[in-house]
Structure 1
Amino acid sequence: MTQTAIPFLFMRGGTSRGPYFNRADLPDDRDTLAQVLVAAVGSGHPLNIDGIGGGNAVTTKVAMLSLSDDDWADIDYFFAQVSVEDGTVDFKPTCGNILSGVGPAAIEMGLVKATGTKTRVKILATNTGARVVANVQTAPDGVVYDGRAQIDGVPGTAAPVGLQFMDTVGGATGAFLPTGNLIDTFEGVDVTCMDVAMPMAIARADAFGLTGYETVAELNENRDFFARMEAVRIQAGEAMGIKDVAASVTPKFGLLAPARDGGTVAARYFMPWTAHPTMAVTGAQCLASCVLTPGTVAQGLAAIPNESPAPITLEHASGMIDVLVDYALNNDGITLNSAGLVRTARLLARGEVMVPRRIWEG
């Protein structure tokens, strides 16, 4: 046989989807692992025609699960962002949408036992060190996927997966404000560099001559904007202490504008070389934290709730996402305790994905 078979679950997590593997079924060596994931997804072609990817960055994501050695966690969640066309893999970031499926996947894999009508799974996101509690709807025969929860960007309804994110500050850079400033200026654009769940460079849409209400298609067609944004992102990332920024998806980039549909603020999120069709769960936490922090680029864009936990609603390209932020003001901005979101997930398929044996013999 000229191919190696690797067991996997194919799941939608939030507004993303991809293969979920047991880490024990994959090579230990990071370089070989990257080659296996590129082959499995089909990176190197805009349609991922020779793999199970979907031709978009939200459909070329990979979750790898294992029992945790951490005293707190049940499951270690190791994430990989596989590029659509470049044949590369980025192990630096994590993904909150894919994380929505980690609790259900852990139960499906037999790594966690379902308990009653709701199973609590404690997850360590090993890429960033974030700790997340996932509350998964369950029954005696396993995970319950049917339900009434609806998230913008996904058709229909499904069972809710409640996520509570902790220890998300400074996971990639070691600091809430990696540059030490509330606002920096790069290429003439005021930017807030912030590391909450995901390191981000955040600016106002009007700084680029945009309204902040553009569709994904309109943004992706605006190559002049992307060229300018990328120059700003690279300088911001370097100022944040991130290495090889031009070749990495971190820091991600976000734009803010006043809300127009009843939310707290309008936001657009970039992955970073295309616009996100909805909103990343990690990005939503960082953007919400930016909105709540006095003196950032978000100052004056929104009416800030005078309470904690504070409900922040981000208007994104496909609807809205709600983030409940438990925080306190301090002299340096805010102290973030945790952020809560509700997502959904669904098991789409299970089986074996095949990769050429010349890449890995298994």
Structure 2
Amino acid sequence: MPPTPSLDYMQLSQRIKRWGEDLGFQQIGISDTDLSQAEARLMHWLARDFHGDMHYMTAHGVKRSRPALLQPGTLSIVSARLDYLPEQSSVSKQRLQDPAAAFVSRYALGRDYHKVLRNRLQKLADKIAGVAGPFGYRVFTDSAPVLEKAIAEKAGLGWIGKHSNLINRRAGSWFFLGEIYTDLPLPADTPAANHCGQCQACLEVCPTQAIVAPYQVDARRCVSYLTIELHGAIPEALRPLLGNRIYGCDDCQLICPWNRFAKLSAEADFMPRRGLDSAGLLEVFGWSESEFLQKTEGSAIRRIGHVRWLRNVAVALGNGPAMEAAKQALRERLHHPHALVREHSAWALAKLRQ
């Protein structure tokens, strides 16, 4: 149904931003649907096979970069930012430096962000409908072929940094993004300017050198890809570089100077749950499948399943100190029914025996 023709869309966009703040978002911006520059960058990235086994990146053609093909009638996009940082960066750095600690990317310590953002964006859409009347829209939270960072950059929420994450000069990069595709002709905000300058910190700190050039990430080398997206064996040459990172990697954000402006999240849903922020490698390696499912209930971690969880932890144990307890735990997993677990456990055990 077409929106009310008498609407003041500038006023409506201002109200949308206020409603967003009332709902707990840190920032709301609005973009148009011209993502032609981002599309060119995406096609270049795909042509270099930097997406690895993430076949979903090519499965939808250009729907990812042409919003009206994904949601017919889309004229403007509401982009939302929600901070999630659960602890001071100094605490995260200490965990990374403890080889016995199980390091989980900070975004995954709390409740699955998909559910939190989707529910909140739906409430925002309902508020818009209360003023605009029934309108065409669709809510997204990393749940469909959407170029969320390119959209957020055009909406003025930040700029895409050399590590490919979005950076806000007042809030750093520890935040989630979500979108509402709408058929409302809302006025677009001014795109954010890039403020990375000559800084190369993220390129230099990346443990696997996955940032092959500024703004170019080879996912096949990225720790987040290797521990979350990759379904098969982690390449042996990269295993020692993973350290104690068992789910994702935050190194490029921890080093980014703009994150000195990041604020701790006030969202209870994003606070660490079930001790995942303080668990040890031996503890989480000992989880049965039922324990894994119970302890990751409502968490983004559950998506990788118990087998890949054990694969990741086995590698981390192999990168740690040669304690007898670690060797014994790995020996026990040599009899696991899944070959992926057996192979990575054998690799880790051999590494500890060197």
* Same topology, TM > 0.5: no
Pick 1 or 2: higher relative contact order, CA cutoff 8 A, min separation 6. Answer: 2
Q: Between Structure 1 and Structure 2, which shows a larger proportion of helix residues?
A: 2
- Normalising by structure 2, what TM-score? 0.28
Of Structure 1 and Structure 2, which has the larger fraction of its residues in strand? 1
TM-score by length of 1: 0.28
Return the index of the structure with the highest Cα Rg.
2
